[in-house]
Chain A
Amino acid sequence: MAAAHPPAAQPAKPVLDPASIHVIVATDCGSTTTKAILIELVDGHYRQTQRGEAPTTVEAPFADVTLGVTNAVTELQELSGRRLIADDGTVIRRSSTTDRDGCDVYISTSSAGGGLQMMVAGVVRQMTAESAKRAALGAGAIVMETIASNDQRKPHEQIQRIRELRPDMVLLSGGTDGGDQKKVVELAELIAPAKPRPRFGGEYRLPVIFAGNKDAAPAVERVFGSGFDLSVVPNIRPTLEEENLGPARDRIHDVFLEHVMAHAPGYDTLIAWADAPIMPTPGAVGDILRTIARKRGINALGVDIGGATTDVFSVFDGAFNRTVSANLGMSYSISNVCAEATMPRILRWVHLPMDERELRNRVKNKMIRPTTIPQTLEALVFEQAVAREALRLSFDQHKAFATSLKGVQQQRTVGDAFTQQAGGGTLVDAMKLDLLVASGGVLSHAPRMEQTALMLIDSFEPEGFTELAKDSIFMMPHLGVLASVHPDAAMEVFEKDCLVHLGTCVAPRGQGKAGKPCFAWELRGARSARGTMNVGDMELVPLAYDEACEMTVTPEKGFDMGAGPGRAVTRTVRGGTVGLVLDARGRAIEVPADEAARRATVARWLQALRVYE
C-alpha cells in the first residue's frame, strides 16, 4: 500500500558484508550521557575492548548531538590507541581491514530528548488499540495516551486529552480489512480537529500513521487533509484472528528518523554518519533480547531501571513484549514509587530501624536532587528496598500487558482476545523463565553483586531454575543495533562481555509452614554437594560460571520445581559471581506481620546471601 505522503529519502547505506567487519564503533546517545563502545575481532572472536562516555550535547548551549558522540569516541580513541576521529570530528572508516586507524562500521541508538513519544488510537481498546500500543512499545516508544472508541470517555473528553498532548507521532488503527469503516473514520474525525501539536518544531506537520482497515484509508486521508503528514501502512489487524505489527513498527522507525530525529539538533549529521538506521534505545534493547532468546532457545526477561522510568522486556515462547512504566524510577520518580507501593510495602525489605516521616523527606530530597548517591549503609538499604518495589510494580504492569497476543506476525484466535478481555492469560510464567537480565544504575552499580541478585529475586520471584545476570555497562542498546548489521558479533559480545553472570536462583513454587522441609538438593560435576532446605530459608552455594554442574532438586509435597508438586527435577546449572542461590521462601514471598520477627527474618536472608557484608 502506498504512503499518502511518501517518506523523505534516507541516505542510501552501503550493504555491509559481515565478513569484512572487524572493528565496530557503537554509541548510545542517552538523555544525559553518550556511551561509546569499541568492538574488535580479537583472535577470531568479537570482543568489546574499550568504552568511553561523555555528556550528551543535544541541549543548549551545544545543541548538537554529534559533539557528544565525538567526545565519547575520542575517549575510545585515547584508550585504544586507534585513531577513530578525523580532524573534522567525524568517525573514520577504514578502506581495508589492514588499516590501523578507523573502524569498519559505526552505529548508534538514541533516547536523547525524551526518546520517542507517541499517542495511539484504535477502535476497540482490547483489540486494535492494544495492538497499536504493542506496535508502538515494540518500536521503542513511550505511549503517552491510548484513545479507543470504547474507552468510556465522551468524545469531548477524548478531544480535550488529545489537545493536551504533544506527541512525536500518532498511530491510528481500527477495523479489519473489508470490515466496518465508520468507527475508525470517526476516530480520525476526533483526532484531526483536536490538532495535537508536535513536540518539536511548531511549523512541521504532525506525522500520523494509519494502520487500520485498508478500505477506510481514502476516507481517513480526506479527514486528515493537508494539516498532517499521513502515511498508510498495512492493517495492524487485517482479520480478527491475525495481528501484523511489522509494517507499522517499521514505519514508526522511519518516521522517528525522518521527523523526530531530524528535528533534534545534530541528528541529520548523525544519521549521515551511521552505517545503519539509528534506533530508539529501548527498541534496540528489545532486539538483542529477542535475538538471544531465539538463538539460545530460551525464555528471557530484561529490566532496565532508570531514574525516571523502568522498561521491562520479555520473550516467552518466542513472543516479545515490552512495557515502559513511565513513573517508576529511582530518582525523578522515586517519590511516585513510594506513593504507589506505599511505605509499609517498601519497609518490609528493610532490616534496620527507620523513621518513616524522616524517610519521606529523604525520598523527596532525592527526587529534587536526583544525582545524589547513598553514603551510608542505611541509605543504601532503603534505596534498594525502594528498587525492589519499583521493579515489582513494573513487573506487575508487564504481566498485565504481556497477555496472550503472540507478537509480530503471529496468529491469535478470537477466543484469545476474549480471554484477554477478561484479564487473564499472561504470557509471563516465572517457572518458564530461563534468564533474567538486570540493567540500570541501582542494579548495575550496587556495591555487591549479591545485592543485585537478591533485588532481582525479591522483585521478580523467579521459580524453578533461573539464570541471573546483569548488563555490565549497559551495552544492550549498542548490541541491539549491531544485531541488525552483524547478529553473530552481537551475540558473541553479549555472551562474553555484556553479561556479568551472577548465578542461578533455585526456587520451588508453593507455600508451606516456616521451618518445615521444603526441598532436598544434590550437586554433581565440577562440584559435589548436597543438602536440604526448610521453608523460609535461603542459602548461598559458591559456584563459578564455568563450573557447570548437574543439579537435582527434590521438592516436598506442595512445592513444584516445574515437573509438578513433589517431583524431582535435574538440570545443568551454572554459577557466577554470586553462585547458586537456594531460595526456600516459597512463592509469593511473604514476611512476618510482627515487626520484630519481620526484621529478624529479613536480616537472616540478607546474612545467608552475604548481601551487606
Chain B
Amino acid sequence: MAKAFTPGLTVTARASYRARRILPIAGEVTVKAGDRVEAGTVVAQTFMDGDVFPMKVASALGAQPKDLPGLMLKQVGDAVRKDEPIARSKGIFGMMRTEARSTADGVIESVGESTGMVMVRGPKVPIEVRAYVAGTVVEVLPGEGAVVEAAAALVQGIFGIGGEVHGPVAMACAGPDEELDADDVTPAMRGCVVVGGARMTAAAIARAREVGAAAVVSGGIDDQDLRDFLGHDIGVAVTGSERMGITLIVTEGFGSIAMAARTFALLASHAGRTASVNGATQIRAGVMRPEIVVPLEAGGVAGEGAVVAGGATAGVLEVGTPVRVIRDPHFGVLGTVAALPEQPAVLGSGSKARVLEVAVAGGERITVPRANVELIEG
C-alpha cells in the first residue's frame, strides 16, 4: 500500500505528557524526583548576570584613560551604589578635585585603560522556571531543571500568541461551528481558558481580555482581527513573547473555520478542569506548536498512551487515515484518505504533484496534493 509521511497535530484524550523545564543558564533545582507539583510550582531557579552600565569616567574627570586605574576609589569586584563616588581626579595641588559617581547599583566589572570607561554590572536578575503542568517530577536534571510528567489530554493548535498560562476550561460556544463572539464571554470566565467553536471575533478577544480570561482557544481567527489586536502584522511565525495579557490559540487556521468536532468534544469533556496553555509557535527548524494540556488526575501517573513531548509529529498516510485539507480550495475540509495514486497528477495550477483522494462527509471524493493534507492524530 502506498504510504506518505505528513506532519499532523496531536489531538488525544490521553497521553503521557512530559514537560522538560530547563533554565537558560545553570542554577538550582528546587524539586526532587517523585515530587507532586502544580502548574505554578517553581522547579528551578537561578540568577542571570545583571545589565552592564558603561560610564565614561576618564572624560568626566578630565583625565587620560591610562591614568584612570590610579584615580579609582573603587576597584574591579567592589560593590557600588548609585551616586556613590567611584573615582576622583587629582585636581590642582589636591584642590578642585572632581568626582565621578556610579550611575547604577552593582559591582565594578572593568576599568578601561584604553577607553577610560568603567563598566558596572547591575544586580543579578532572578530567573524561575515553573512546572507549567500539574504532575509528577520524574527526572531531575542537576543544575538545569526537571522533567514533569502527567497523564493528560493534549490538543496541539496550529498557531498562537502569548506565553504559558493556566486556568479552568470554560466552554463558551455550544458547538464547534459556532463563532465565538463577545456575548459568549462572561465575567465568570476570569482566569479561565475560554474555548470557542469557529472563528474568534475581534470583539470576543477584546471582551475576554477585559474580563481577565487567561486564554482563548477557537477554530480560526481573521488575520485582520489579529493584526488589529496586536497593533502590527506578524511577519514570521515565531511567537510566544507577546505581552497582550492573554494567550490566543487557533486550532485550525486563519479565516472562518470551525474547530474539528473531535477537538471541541475533547475540550468540552474537560470543562472545569485546569488546563495549561502555551501560545508559543515557531514554524522553522525545531517546529513548536501551541498547545492545551489538561492533566487528567491528581498524582499525574502516566496512563497508557503515546509519550508526547510536544511539537509536530510525523505519521503515515494510508487509506482510512483521518486527514484535514490545509490549503484552498478545500481548506479546512475533514475526511479520510480514500486512495493514494502512485503516479503524479497534473493540478489545476499546471504543476505535477503526487495526490490523494479524500472521502468527505456526504460521500463526495476530492483530489488534493499530498502536501496539502495533514493527519489528525490522536
Q: Which residues of A contact B (CB under 8 A)?
A: 31, 59, 113-114, 155-156, 159-160, 181-182, 185-186, 189-190, 192-195, 202, 216, 219, 223, 308, 327, 332-333, 335-336, 338-340, 357-358, 360-377, 379-380, 445, 447-448, 612
Contact = CB atoms under 8 A, between A and B. Distances in A.
B114 interface: yes
A380 B352 CA distance: 13
B121 to A, nearest CB: 7
B47 interface: no
19 contacts: A113-B285, A156-B51, A159-B52, A189-B112, A189-B117, A192-B110, A193-B121, A219-B114, A357-B223, A361-B222, A362-B254, A368-B159, A373-B353, A375-B347, A375-B348, A375-B349, A376-B347, A377-B348, A379-B328
Given A156-B51, A357-B222, A368-B159, A182 B65 contact: yes
B62 interface: no
B283 A363 contact: no
B368 interface: yes
Nearest to A219: B114
B30 interface: no
B369 interface: yes
Contact of A365 (B224, B226, B235, B327): B327
Contacts of B281: 368
Contacts of A189: 54, 110, 112, 114-115, 117, 119
Contact of A447 (B25, B52, B349): B349
Contacts of A216: 114
Contact of A156 (B52, B158, B283, B286): B52
A75 to B, nearest CB: 16
A476 B377 CA distance: 39
Contact of B254 (A338, A339, A365, A448): A365
A373 B370 CA distance: 9
A365 B253 contact: yes
B286 A59 contact: yes
A364 B223 contact: yes
B237 interface: yes
A416 B350 CA distance: 49
A17 to B, nearest CB: 39
Q: Which 6 A-B pairs have the closest CB atoms?
A: A336-B235, A447-B350, A380-B349, A185-B114, A361-B255, A364-B254
Contacts of B7: 371
Contact of B284 (A159, A308, A366): A308
B257 to A, nearest CB: 9
Interface string B95-139: 000000000000001101011010101000000000000000000
Given A189-B117, A362-B328, A373 B285 contact: no
A216 B352 CA distance: 60
Nearest to A380: B349
A368 B220 CA distance: 12
Contacts of B112: 185-186, 189, 223
Contact of A193 (B110, B254, B331, B349): B110
Contacts of A371: 7, 371
Nearest to A362: B328
Contacts of A195: 49
B110 A369 contact: no
Interface residues of B, number: 53
A372 B349 contact: no
A237 B368 CA distance: 57
Nearest to A159: B52
A376 B329 contact: yes
Nearest to B351: A447
Contacts of B351: 373-374, 380, 445, 447
B223 A363 contact: yes
Contact of A155 (B54, B110, B371): B54
A14 B247 CA distance: 58
B326 interface: yes
A335 B233 CA distance: 8
A113 B284 CA distance: 10
Given A186-B112, A189-B119, A160 B51 contact: yes
A333 B329 CA distance: 22
Contacts of B331: 362, 365
B348 A335 contact: no
B114 A339 contact: no
A364 B254 CA distance: 6
B236 interface: yes
A380 B351 CA distance: 9
Contacts of A373: 327, 347, 349, 351, 353, 369, 371-372
Nearest to B234: A335
A29 to B, nearest CB: 13
A338 B227 CA distance: 13
B291 interface: no
B335 to A, nearest CB: 15
